[in-house]
Amino acid sequence: MTHPYKNLPTKAFWRKAVQKTEMLNVDPVGEFNLKISKDTKVATAGSCFAQHIARHLKNSGFNYYVEEKGHPILPSHVLKEFNYGTFSARYGNLYTARQLLQLAKEP
């Protein structure tokens, strides 16, 4: 009998990776194969954590994608006051993956 979990590594299971492992041997990060370079276009969505990530990406010279930049006639303090550039678009805070999915499916 096969199932989608059959070939997953040990780290994918709480009981094997955490519960039945000595505390000093638990790896809270694991291996992450995705690499983001300064040329990679990166967008953010979420809450305050995503806002901090966006700010650090911009300040570190990464290719932070912003769809809604605001009208060029507006001064920078007005753009900041109305949250242009806080996220990749002006959709506000998103707290669940379901909200992000719903937003992505909007026409």
Q: What is the pLDDT of residues 50-73, one digit of tens each?
A: 889 999 999 999 999 999 899 999
Tokens of 101: 């999915």
CA 43, 14, 50: angle at the middle one, nearest 5? 20
* Assigned domain for 80 exists: yes
For the residues 65-89, what does the mean pLDDT come to? 92
The answer to whether the Cα torsion of 15, 19, 24, 30 is positive or negative is positive
| Residue 71, domain member (yes or no) | yes
Q: How far apart are CA 36 and CA 15, in angstroms?
A: 31
Judge whether 60 lies within some domain.
yes
Does a structural domain hold residue 16? no
pTM of the model: 0.63
Contacts of 63 (CB under 8 A, 6+ apart): 38, 39, 40, 41, 42
pLDDT at 46 over 90: no
Into how many domains does the chain fold? 1
Would 72 be classed as within a structural domain? yes
Check residue 43 and give its pLDDT: 92
Range of the domain at 68: 35-105
The verdict on residue 10 lying in a domain is no
